[in-house]
Structure 1
Amino acid sequence: MSISKRDQLQLQAAEASDEPYELGPDSLPQPGTPRGSVTEYRLDDSERFPGTKRRYWVYVPAQYTPDHPANLMVFQDGDWYLRPNVNAHVVFDNLIHRGELPVCIGVFVEPGDNGPGNPLWGGDTNRNVEYDTLSDAYGQFLLDDLIPRLPVAVTDSPTRRAICGHSSGGICAFTAAWERPDAFGNVVSHCGSFVNIRGGHEYPSLIRRTERKPLRVFLQTGERDLDVVFGNWPIANRDMASALAYRGYECELVIGEGGHTLKHGGAIFPDTMRWLWGRT
């Protein structure tokens, strides 16, 4: 299987970062724990992003029954979260089995690919548009194009829905919830790009000037996260946490030792899920 430039950069960053994080037992298959299913699908006819095609995976826990609409969690750059550096579906298996998480459907979505020609992302040419744009477009894509296609019953309650992502996927998760708090009430951002790529650096000021919305937000970054022409990721995430606290949001900021990878976010993912879903 070929690997895209996007994945190459992520793997290179992980190898170079020398981060002191490993997955714990909650993130590894455990004897006697029922395993859910992960099924791959394709979406080739998006109305919100015409001309794009993408893969997505749906995780269904063993405990799911169609007569009880399940919680929902959507992951941007979904393939990254299914890989062994996070094992999100395995974490769900273990925590749901122990009653530490509600029955939850996981939807792992890739960014749209509208053809070759992008030298950085290797074909995922709509990622920047979808993830870094401050608008309701991506949230509406999920609500109009993707969620109605799910082969399972999920809740309509925003308090039982979450959205998650890394880097540009992290700011994308926040934007989707910010624009549609009636649909997504919980956010997890790993190394979120709240910097000046497409105006994301404006969020702290915007949050301070806007009436509080019904959102709970988990932010993670590392002391060695990016510091480039677009901005400084640790500072940007601290500014986000400060603005959210100012407006009275329930927000958690965890800063590790690492860089712009999912190593730290993956290692603490089980505890993140306990924080996120502990009140549902």
Structure 2
Amino acid sequence: MTDRGVDRGAGRPASARRSRTSRERVVRDRVERRQQQRVRQRRRGAVLALLAVTLLLVGVDLTNGLRGGSASGEPTPTPSQAPSRQAAPPPAAGVPTPSLAPSAGESPAPATVVDQGAGTFTVAPGGTGVVGAGKLLTYRVEVENGTNQDTAAFAAAVDRILDDPRSWTATRQVAFQRISTGTPGVTIRLASPKTTDRLCYPLDTEGYTSCRVGNNVVINLARWLTAVPDFAGHLTEYRQYAVNHEVGHRLGHGHMACPAAGQLAPVMQQQTLGLKGCRMNPWPYVNGQLVTGPPVP
């Protein structure tokens, strides 16, 4: 995988380019089949849910008819009034709560998402001092050209996240430093959805998720600009989560599951795909405590 997104097909024999094109076509076809399967599953689930609600309401109506009406005098809810999801229980006593205050200098307003950028990248100039104590992991920040994103602004956001005392430096086993020359320990890229799919291969990001492959972290532009439904209204926190999660993979941490409903989600939980009853949490450490959950095989 090239560091700067150079066209690897240029200068190669036609047979090699055809081979790459065939492989990409296979990946796209597989992703499309998976998406279609998920759509069918969601539709089937919606039908079953509607049927269950209908049967429940019929049972309530029959019971009220036998009792001469509802004891509370409140009308029986219609399917459109029924709650779409069960509310999570209140937080358990003593559970640390992360700060949800937006970071200074980050605008929560989403911009237009460019689905396909140029495929080449601009390196953020300059660098930072060493933050944290422990084994040094240097990182380089790059932004895909043609995405209408400011390279320096993205680099500054990444710097703030990794420099935060709630990030991985809280372990006191790792330190970070951004560089713009030489060979970094990890390259953190902001890429359009289609470029993300290409860079994350063989992982299947489906134009939606971010990834870490080898020494490369790829942040999906669509997620960076719009977050996900469970982080609605908390774009800054989602950005913090995305960087901490993918860098966590580079540090050797695997996925975790939600420990219990109402608890904070571990940063290594795949919160992009749903909180599973947990509460959003963008940080590995909260109030000096590591937030953990059951490991995902």
Task: Give the TM-score, by structure 2 length.
Answer: 0.24
Task: Give the TM-score, by structure 1 length.
Answer: 0.25
Which has more radius of gyration?
2
RCO higher in structure (CA 8 A, sep ≥6): 1
